[in-house]
Amino acid sequence: MGIVKSSEVAVTPISAGRSRYLAHTDHLMAVVVDFNDGPASIPDPPHSHPHEQVSYVVAGELILVMGEEKTRLSAGDLYTVPANVPHAVQTLSPHVRLIDAFNPIREDFLKR
């Protein structure tokens, strides 16, 4: 069993005000993502990936954009993103924390 202690993990910067850390097995990945650059006036650019995704909103508020649909989410909410579906978020609070789960794992998130 792998253990990742938040007090000991090396956080990976994503961009200014955004970071992540993660744990994974051969087939499943969980990623803690912190957005500390909100609120945002517009959504991030849409992106897609071949991974199935389930996300849990731990803290803060955001808008999830999938296609033309926009949904306001807050702490305690969950959402799913099928593989290859464009999606984006717009943070509505100064801090948003998500826990994302991916299958298969995001090889692009692993340090080389």
Tell me the pLDDT of the chain (112 aa) as tens digits: 689 999 999 899 999 999 999 999 999 999 999 999 999 999 999 999 999 999 999 999 999 999 999 999 999 999 999 999 999 999 999 999 999 999 999 999 997 5
* Residue 6 located in a structural domain: no
Residue 97 domain flag: yes
Positive/negative CA dihedral, 15, 20, 24, 29: negative
> In this predicted structure, what is the pLDDT of residue 112?
59
Q: What are the structure tokens assigned to 87, written together?
A: 């999606």
How do strand 78-81 and strand 52-59 relate by DSSP bridges? antiparallel
- Note whether residue 53 is domain-resident: yes
Report how far residue 17's alpha carbon sits from residue 102's, in angstroms, rounded to the nearest whole number.
23
Residue 38 is assigned to a structural domain of this protein: yes
Identify whether 7 is part of a domain: no
pTM above 0.85, yes or no: yes
Farthest-apart Cα atoms in the chain, separation:
41
Tokens 């991916």 identify what position?
A: 102
Examine residue 85 and state whether it is found in any structural domain, yes or no. Answer: yes
What pLDDT score was predicted for residue 1?
Answer: 60
Q: What CATH code is carried by the domain that includes residue 25?
A: 2.60.120.10
Q: Which domain holds residue 66?
A: 12-109
